[in-house]
Amino acid sequence: MRFAKVILPDLGAGSDAQIVISHWFAVRGERVWEGDRLVEVLTGPATFDVSSPATGRLAEIREREDDRVTVGSVLGLIAVRDDEDAGESLDRDRESRGDPPRTDRPAP
């Protein structure tokens, strides 16, 4: 498993802008998809959304609502599964639903 950083991009508000985390659209452990709105930030009168950089689970929220942040700050981490991990996870999901095991892959 690897982690993708959720980084506050340059919003064009200037380096001295007061940027505040307004709202997280996901909670820790929630599944998110690349491009989804993940966190809302305020820069004075303007509001911006920061998108998820990857598909996975929100593993960590480093900056909470009402925290002041700067451009380049790591706001959170997305846990991204490798292809092998993702396949094992799907197998566990099938088993928990009572579906038959996959037979299109060779046994380990």
Q: What is the DSSP string of 78-102?
A: EEE--HHHHHHHHHHHHHHHTPPPP
pLDDT band at 106 (very low <50, low <70, confident <90, very high): very low
Q: Is the pLDDT of residue 104 over 50?
A: no
Domains of the chain: 2-97 (2.40.50.100)
pLDDT at 100: 55
| Cross-strand partners of 54 | none
Give alpha helix (H) positions in 1-108: 83-97
Q: Is the pLDDT of residue 32 over 60?
A: yes
Q: Is the pLDDT of residue 52 over 90?
A: yes
Q: Is the pLDDT of residue 96 over 80?
A: no
